[in-house]
Amino acid sequence: MSEFELPVRPAVLTQALTRRFGELVAVDRLDLEIASGIIFGLLGPNGAGKSTTVKMLTTLLPPSSGRATVAGHDVVREPAAVRRQIGYVPQLISADGALSGYENLLLSAKLYDVPRKEQAARIDDALQFMGLTDAARAMVRTYSGGMVRRLEVAQALLHRPAVLFLDEPTIGLDPMARHAVWERLRESRTRYAMTVLITTHDMDEAEQLCDRLAIMNGGRLAATGTVAELKQRVGPSATLDDVFAHFAVGVITEGGSYRDVVNTRNTAERLG
Amino acid sequence: MTAPEGSPSPALEVEHLSVAFGATRVLDDLSFRVAAGTSLAIIGPSGAGKTVLFRALIGVVPSTGTIRFAAGTRIGYVPQKLDLQRDLPLTGLDFLNARADVSGVPSTDVTRVLNLVALDSRFAAQPLGTLSGGQFQRLLVAFALMGHPTLLLFDEPTAGIDEPGKEGIYALFSRLQAEEGLTVLIISHELSLVYRYADTVLCLSRWRTFLGPPLDILTPEHLQEAYGAPVRYHHHESRDTD
Amino acid sequence: MRQCATTITNRVTPTDLLLLVAMAAAAGLIGSVTVMRRMALASDAVSHVALPGVAIAILLHVNPVLGGLAALFLGSLLIWALEHKTRLPTEAVIGVVFSAALAIGSMLASGEELFAALFGGAHAAGRIELLFGLAASAVVIAYVMRARSRLVIALVSPELASASGIDVSQTNLVFLLMFALTVGLGLRFLGVLLMGSLIIIPAVTATFLAHNLRTLQTASVALAITSTLAGALLAPRLHVEQGPLIIVVAASLFVVALVTRSVTRSARSGNIPGGGRELR
Amino acid sequence: MTSSTLGTPPSGWVNRHVLGFGRHSLAVAQMEIAKIGREPTELLTRAIQPALWLIVFGQVFTRTRAIPTGTMRYLDYLAPGVLAQSVLFSAIFYGLAVIWERDLGVVHKLLVSPASRSSLVFGKAISAGLRALAQAVIILALAAVLGVRLRTDVMSLMGVALVVVLGGALFSTFSFVIACLVKTRERFMGVGQVLTMPLFFASNAIYPLSMMPPWLRTISALNPLTYLVNALRALMIEGGEGTAGLGTDLLVLLAVFLVLVGIAANLYEGIVR
């Protein structure tokens, strides 16, 4: 594996990344650098610009200005290369309920050009790793919320992405299911030596899962650091809640469009 | 807030309530009472029948057992799921005025409820789709408050709303309770907020049901039993997370 | 072999115009509610049910509009019952109902009668027809104005509607009947197929322009009347059929609205914030 | 664990673009087809509609000879029209599935994969075409029972199958384009419903062009359904022929289909914004 040099470049790098929707600046000159191999949490209230950032990084949405590279590839100039290097679990449900877990995985394997010889082995491996072997032939619509999420993570990992993006991965899950998803994520990170970027507005998730955090607020970066660093910056006995409150001051306390709420609720309902 | 047990004037009494869909028993012999002017939080894992309980209370789902409301009870209901179409050309005011018209309430009531929930009439004049999560929740509460209800049923009021927004919604309940003397039933997953704002907690699960003040119910043992997994939540007052 | 000679009248009489405007106003109003109510499919199925009624009326030498109306009311009752009382997949049932209606209807009428029933035709309205048309339009308009609040709440959430004391099932039935009456109004001028279009297209166009109930209804009515008047007045000059031209105008307005919206959106590099779409 | 395939695109231009297009289309189509097999009842309920047309309409008009179809029996004339109608109806609401997938989030997943947009659209179109074919089998069987003079040689049957798939693919892609433009289920239902019946009646599916008023004749000449009916008539029926020649019909259908795929591939991305 000598031809395969370990990248020293950051997994994600953005420079003055900006996205406007009409008058609204959803993401405002964002400078972000995410080192390879860590679980990075993008924390912030609804409407802080987290999902917009992820959509730009996953090539779903062109930036209005600024640039971003993911795994060394520019999201605007080399979208195809970026897509090969990333896995994405959107906030909404992306597994197809009318197909079985196995078929969902097979579709991903084929779309990502996983070599035919390796497909079966990788799918079996993924099913086992995610604890879905017994449910592999069942229709996904019969899965519980936690199972759906684990399947989606498995789909996103089949092609061994360099960077995995997860948008609010545990929204609508009950505590037991959340813990299972977190555990799988932590393990897969080590196993595949990849970088994970998650967005969340949940303190627990940020604290338990992430190595580093960036707090976004009104489209801008309010603070970055490890959980401990951030707490220290606020005060000696600060909780992450306090950190959040400190850096997200002055946010419109009621961010998030109606659509967000409906989406979240629909997601919660389908998962739940 | 008065203690719920043995309170002289219950706003709602439920005795031996059962709901079954075919062979599946969703609620089994559930009994509880809610004192007037207090708040009851209903928690529990998915599928424990929380929403079904509400639907049974408003009579959309057939049930057995007794449901007794205090005389003159008017129910305001905010459902969990509102699968609205995108781009619906309806404003918050259209929606509230429609309720005023249907319920025979004078249209001045619209101003009253908007003031109560502290929603600026500028926002109320926008299409429903452009309201923020918190604003839309306030609008739904306003809708439920039209015509002076005495009992408010709230299904997952803060799903998908961020932390500051959640605080705002719960603070609103506290205020409504104090100002309007409302009795409030809330279904929620937000244990830390339940801890701060509810007078009584009803914990539903497939195995057991617990009822009591938050301090007694929201213990790690009870929660583990109900959810089948360790559950943590932040106490805001006491700084110990766990 | 019978060549279908379509008669194109040279002028549109003032009475016809009056009737057309009343019909268009009713169509625009009922359409504005239809597009919000996710009932486009059910309602459109209702309109096709008119065909066998028209055909039977022609066979029996009765006024075809009366036959059409009778079939429309029966059809709406049937669809309402199917939607509320059975657990059958509604779309499948509706599909069957309307194709059966079309097949039977097309079979009974023949030649130019078939084309007239499907696509309508220009003709001078008699006095009774005029009175009936104006009265029915008035009924539809009054109904939408009065029942608007109930309809609005029921469309946002049937559950909230029930909790607010609205009989959702009854509201749906009356709405379907009013829809049927509106289709009946346009049978002569536009025929079964095109009247459905006059109800739906201006209303869908209006959803691109409107942000509240009042503008939606105003725009929908205005678009329906504009299309109808333009179609009726231009048809003799362009020597084409009036009914199809009305729908062509309505469809053109739709395309213009669609294109305008896309252009303004891309010019602003994205969507209108909170335009109902997921942004962040 | 081999890391050798990490993010490496398949080597070679042809392999990456041409074969990649094929592989990805096939993968999408395969999954869609798996879904069809699971809902046989849907295929059957959808077959009721054309069956009604064939039995009620066809039988009566064949007896009364009210529609001038020259030397052809009316039932023979109608059968390809009804087949084309069922192809149209089964495909035209395909866009609803696209909107549904967007509302769920499935589209997001497809769009971040390395598969090209056109291969995704093409795969879905082909699967819709095959769905139409499954229905065509039912209708052909029914037509045979009713005594329609079908051609039964292998070449003709294959030709019919090909044309049915092409027609289903064409109208489903048309529906796809509409879905990307109107974006909401409610508007789609409105527009889709308003289009279907006029497309059907403004074609030569149930009566010959010669019978139509002139304005309707113009519209039907612009209507792809007319070409689908023509092609089917020529391929399916003993002694049947279209009005413009089989080659023209096929060319028109193929050209319209490819143009629509191009448009849909360009619009697809916008649906998640």
Closest Cβ opposite residue B103 in set C164, C215, C274: C164
Q: Which residues pair with A87 in a beta bridge?
A: A164
Tell me the mean pLDDT in the region C24-52.
Answer: 80
Name the H helices within chain C.
14-36, 40-48, 50-59, 64-85, 90-108, 111-119, 127-156, 158-163, 168-209, 213-238, 242-267
Q: Which of B38-52, B127-141, D5-19, D36-50 has the lowest mean pLDDT?
A: D5-19
Closest Cβ opposite residue D186 in set C35, C197, C254: C35
pLDDT of residue B2: 41
Is B224 within 8 Å of B210 (Cβ atoms)?
Answer: no
Tell me the mean pLDDT in the region B91-101.
Answer: 92
Average model confidence (pLDDT) across chain B:
78
Average model confidence (pLDDT) across chain C:
79
Q: A222, exposed or middle or buried, with CB in 10 Å at 0-12, 13-18, 19+?
A: buried
- Look at residue B129 and tell me whether its pLDDT is greater than 90: no
Q: Which of A213-222, B2-11, B85-94 has the lowest mean pLDDT?
A: B2-11
Position C115 confidence tier, pLDDT thresholds 50, 70, 90: confident
Closest Cβ opposite residue C196 in set D61, D194, D273: D194
How many residues are listed for chain D in this entry? 273
| Domains contained in chain D, number | 1
Chain A closest CA to D24's CA: distance in Å?
6
Q: For C51-77, what is each residue's pLDDT tens digit?
A: 778 777 777 777 778 888 888 888 888
pLDDT of residue C186: 86
pLDDT in tens, chain A (272 residues): 444 455 567 899 999 999 988 778 889 999 999 999 899 999 887 778 888 899 999 999 999 999 999 999 999 999 989 999 999 998 888 898 889 999 999 999 999 999 989 999 999 999 999 889 999 999 998 888 888 999 999 999 999 999 999 988 887 777 778 888 888 889 888 888 899 999 987 778 888 899 999 998 888 888 899 988 888 888 777 777 777 777 775 444 444 444 454 555 455 554 44
pLDDT of residue A251: 43
| Subunit contact D53:C103, Cβ cutoff 8 A | yes
Tell me, yes or no, whether D31 lies in a domain. Answer: yes
Position B79 confidence tier, pLDDT thresholds 50, 70, 90: confident
pLDDT of residue D255: 96
Tell me the mean pLDDT in the region B143-156.
Answer: 87
pLDDT top residue among B169 and D149: D149
Give the integer Cα–Cα distance in Å for B74 and B97. 19
**Residues of chain D neighbouring C196 (CB-CB closer than 8 A):** 193-194, 197
- Burial annotation A85-96 (CB, 10 A radius, 16+ → b, else e): bbbbbbbbbbbb
Give chain D as a 3 state SS string. Answer: CCCCCCCCCCCCHHHHHHHHHHHHHHHHHHHHHHHHHHCHHHHHHHHHHHHHHHHHHHHHHHHHCCCCCCCCCHHHHHHHHHHHHHHHHHHHCHHHHHHHHHHHCHHHHHHCCCCCHHHHHHHHHHHHHHHHHHHHHHHHHHHHHCCCCECCCHHHHHHHHHHHHHHHHHHHHHHHHHHHHHCCHHHHHHHHHHHHHHHHHCCCCCCCHHHCCHHHHHHHHHCHHHHHHHHHHHHHECCCCCCCCHHHHHHHHHHHHHHHHHHHHHHHHHHHC
Is D111 within 8 Å of A60 (Cβ atoms)?
Answer: yes
pLDDT of residue D125: 95
pLDDT of residue C105: 72
Chain C closest CA to B224's CA: distance in Å?
34
Position C269 confidence tier, pLDDT thresholds 50, 70, 90: very low
Eight-state DSSP code of residue B130: G
Kindly report the pTM of this predicted structure: 0.80
**Residues of chain B neighbouring D186 (CB-CB closer than 8 A):** 85
* Cα separation of the two ends of chain C: 64
Give the CA dihedral D257, D259, D262, D264, nearest 10 degrees.
Answer: -60
Joined together, the tokens standing for residue B203 give: 């914990």
pLDDT of residue C278: 33
Closest Cβ opposite residue C213 in set B85, B89, B126: B89
Give the integer Cα–Cα distance in Å for A162 and A34. 12
Give the integer Cα–Cα distance in Å for C205 and C218. 12
pLDDT top residue among B188 and A13: A13
**Residues of chain B neighbouring D184 (CB-CB closer than 8 A):** 85-87
Tell me the mean pLDDT in the region C238-254.
Answer: 87
pLDDT of residue C85: 65
Give the integer Cα–Cα distance in Å for A135 and B81. 29
Give the nearest chain A residue to B49 (CA atoms). A272
Q: Return the residue matching tokens 């106490």.
A: B235
Eight-state DSSP code of residue B70: P
Give the integer Cα–Cα distance in Å for D47 and D134. 10
| Subunits with 3+ C-beta pairs closer than 8 A to D | A, B, C
pLDDT in tens, chain D (273 residues): 444 445 566 677 777 777 889 999 999 998 888 888 787 777 777 777 788 778 877 776 777 666 777 778 888 888 999 999 899 988 988 888 888 888 888 899 999 999 999 999 999 999 999 989 988 999 999 999 988 899 989 999 999 999 999 999 999 999 999 999 888 887 887 787 778 777 888 888 888 888 787 878 888 889 999 999 999 999 998 877 766 688 899 999 999 999 999 999 999 988 877
pLDDT of residue B160: 58
Give the integer Cα–Cα distance in Å for C118 and C199. 15
**Residues of chain A neighbouring D20 (CB-CB closer than 8 A):** 113
| Subunits with 3+ C-beta pairs closer than 8 A to C | A, B, D
Please give the share of chain B, as a percent, with pLDDT higher than 90: 6
Tell me the mean pLDDT in the region C1-24.
Answer: 67
Closest Cβ opposite residue C156 in set B84, B126, B130: B84
pLDDT of residue D243: 67
Give the nearest chain B residue to C206 (CA atoms). B89
Closest alpha carbon to B99 in B131, B133, B55, B146: B146
Closest Cβ opposite residue D35 in set A98, A108, A160: A98
- Look at residue B5 and tell me whether its pLDDT is greater than 70: no
**Residues of chain A neighbouring C277 (CB-CB closer than 8 A):** 259
* Cα separation of the two ends of chain B: 27
Q: What's the CATH fold of domain B1-73+152-161+185-235? A: Rossmann fold (3.40.50)
Closest alpha carbon to D212 in C9, C3, A166: C3
**Residues of chain D neighbouring C96 (CB-CB closer than 8 A):** 45, 48-49, 52
pLDDT top residue among B159 and A219: A219
Give the nearest chain A residue to D109 (CA atoms). A94
Chain B closest CA to A261's CA: distance in Å?
5
Tell me how far CA of residue D70 lies from CA of C113, C198, D65, D73, in angstroms. 21, 36, 10, 8
List C residues 134-163 in contact with B (Cβ-Cβ < 8 A).
Answer: 148-150, 152-153, 156-157, 159-160, 162-163
Is A43 within 8 Å of A213 (Cβ atoms)?
Answer: yes
pLDDT top residue among C193 and D63: C193
**Residues of chain C neighbouring B60 (CB-CB closer than 8 A):** 159, 162-163
Position C277 confidence tier, pLDDT thresholds 50, 70, 90: very low
- Look at residue B3 and tell me whether its pLDDT is greater than 50: no
| Subunit contact D114:A113, Cβ cutoff 8 A | yes
C2-267 CATH, one of 3.30.565.10, 1.10.8.60, 1.10.10.10, 1.10.3470.10 = 1.10.3470.10
Joined together, the tokens standing for residue A42 give: 């993008």
| Subunit contact C262:D206, Cβ cutoff 8 A | no
Q: For C149-165, what is each residue's pLDDT tens digit?
A: 999 998 888 888 888 88
pLDDT of residue A94: 87
**Residues of chain C neighbouring B91 (CB-CB closer than 8 A):** 211-213
pLDDT of residue B83: 66
Q: Which of A46-50, B108-112, C181-185 has the lowest mean pLDDT?
A: A46-50
Tell me the mean pLDDT in the region C220-245.
Answer: 90
Measured between CB atoms, does B154 come within 8 Å of chain C?
no
pLDDT of residue A210: 92
Give the integer Cα–Cα distance in Å for D224 and D222. 6
Q: For A133-189, what is each residue's pLDDT tens digit?
A: 999 999 998 888 888 999 999 999 999 999 999 988 887 777 778 888 888 889 888
